[in-house]
Amino acid sequence: MYATTVMRENLLANGRLTKRLRSHDGHVVVRVMPEGERFYVTVTDNRDEGDVVRDVTQILEA
């Protein structure tokens, strides 16, 4: 599970849930392959305009 912005207070108060997040900050980009049956997820840093890639999943089946 991915989230785009989770406040620090929520991370502390809901740790049992938020610790299972793959990402709790950044931009989440889903790329679907042309046939529409496979995809991957990329998370980029949203702290500045650089959009540095922080995480990329393996290719997943839809």
Q: What is the pTM of this model?
A: 0.76
What is the pLDDT, as a whole number, of residue 31?
A: 97
Q: Mean of the per-residue pLDDT values for the chain?
A: 90
The single-letter code of the amino acid at 4 is T
Residues 40, 60 contacting (CB under 8 angstroms): yes
SS3 40: strand
What is the pLDDT, as a whole number, of residue 15?
A: 83
Q: At residue 38, does pLDDT exceed 90?
A: yes
Q: Where are the alpha helices (DSSP H) in 1-62?
A: 8-13, 15-18
- The sign of the CA dihedral 39, 50, 6, 21 is positive
